[in-house]
Amino acid sequence: MSPTSGRQQPRLWPLFAGGFLGPFGGAVTNTMLPELATGLGSDLQTAASAVTWYMLPFCAALLFSGSLAQRWGRGRTIRGGFAVYLAASLVCIFAALLPSVAVVPAFMAGRALQGIGNAFTTPVLVSLLAEFVPREKLGASLGMFAAMQAAGQAFSPLVGGVSADVDYRLAFVVTGLAALVLAVVTPTGRAGSTTGPTNWRALANPRLVQSSLVGFAAQVTATGVTVLAALIATDRFGLSPTVRGLVVAFYGVAGLFSGKLAGRLSDRFGIRTMGVASLLVLGASMALVGLAPWVVLLLLLVGLIGATGTAGRILTNTLALRSTPENTGGATSFTMAVQFLGSAIVPALLPLYAVSPATATVAAGSVTVLGGLVALVPVKPARASET
């Protein structure tokens, strides 16, 4: 897994673009639900399940996708993943042309295939970054990757809304074309070859448990803020849906523009030091969201969560990569699977929100602060060098 040396630096922009595509494709249906329901001949609740049909296969496949990539070869795996994503996008585009009884099942099958395709690309992209980028610059590259993930989450509502005004299928034309381009241009280097039998046993180590718990804790706030801040914007400040969407989008915008700085600071002060500090600020900011008396303060807190969340992702990805040198792909994908389970518990915050907004945001923020404390626990290194 040593970085590339003695030859020209591979192009990295396809890796960052791939990081954008994952969360973008997952959330692109969120702002087109009425139009999607009409196009599928279904109701709003059925259309909303498009996110579930994407996320559940995505999380399930993440449990083993990275390890299989180690065995099959990362280059072959990532191109296969983008090919599946392209095929899935085509299914979503043409599902409406089928007989009415088959439209919804076909579309949801396409969404499930998109999730599976993403599971075989996102963790491999992180592994490729670790291979191509010198160790002393890895923080900056992981920061850019995290920033692009935040950007995908931020801009998917915009593209989804614009597509819905024209034709909801336009969004899947965009994802399909992106997958096609990335399948062709993503570099593989020596990652194109197989690595032999997958070392599944290596994944049973305490450092991987640590990285997974940290990722889970950070994701509770990363997802929770998009739900709770939107509710507060409506219930407390009476904001319109458009303005409410802009408030939530500031999370991704802040993450995008802070990514490079977060990466550089991580390289300068140490990824663990920067990451733990960011998680503590992330959790505290989330706790304060429920107490914000002004819209401006709510917006600033959402932006701070976006910025510190980017640094938190750098820490999570680094801990995963260093936890299991024998199976970096498996470690990364397993960590991501547990991380996204943090999104799954966010609905449990809604009963707490009914008690008071502050109760829900403090609960979410406390989980993230605990994640920062977990990251401080010394665990026997998998190898000698440690940042």
Question: What is the rounded CA–CA span in Å between residue 159 and residue 282?
Answer: 27
pTM of the model: 0.75
Burial level of 162, CB count in 10 A (0-12/13-18/19+)? middle
Highest mean pLDDT out of 28-32, 72-76, 85-89, 125-129: 85-89
Long-range residue pairs from 29-38, CB within 8 A, at least 24 positions apart, any chain: 29/111, 29/160, 29/171, 30/156, 30/157, 30/160, 31/156, 31/157, 31/158, 31/160, 31/161, 31/164, 31/245, 32/160, 32/161, 32/163, 32/164, 32/168, 32/171, 34/164, 35/164, 35/168, 36/164, 36/168
Residue 80: other Cβ atoms inside 10 A? 17
Among candidate residues 256, 309, 29, the one with its CA nearest the CA of residue 144: 256
Report pLDDT digits (tens) over 136-190.
888 888 888 888 988 887 788 778 878 888 899 999 999 999 999 999 999 875 5
- Which pLDDT score, from 0 to 100, does residue 30 have? 74
Q: Pick the more confident residue, 369 or 243.
A: 369
pLDDT surpassing 60 at residue 316: yes
Whole-angstrom Cα distance, residue 243 to residue 230? Answer: 10
Which of the four pLDDT bands, split at 50, 70 and 90, describes residue 197?
low
For the four alpha carbons of 10, 12, 14 and 15, in that order, the dihedral sign comes to positive
What distances in angstroms separate CA 78 from CA 134, 185, 380, one per listed residue?
22, 11, 32
- pLDDT tens digit sequence for 322-355: 888 888 778 888 888 888 888 778 878 888 999 9
Q: Is the pLDDT of residue 384 over 70?
A: no
Q: What domains, with CATH codes, occur in the chain?
A: 13-192 (1.20.1250.20), 201-376 (1.20.1250.20)
pLDDT reported for residue 1: 45
- Average pLDDT value over all residues in the chain: 86
**Which residue stretches of the chain are H helix?**
13-27, 33-40, 44-72, 74-94, 100-119, 122-132, 138-166, 170-185, 206-235, 241-269, 271-289, 295-323, 328-344, 350-355, 357-376
Angle (CA) 323 329 335, round 5°: 60
Q: Find the range with the poorest average confidence among 144-158, 278-292, 363-377.
A: 144-158
Quick check: 381 pLDDT over 80? no
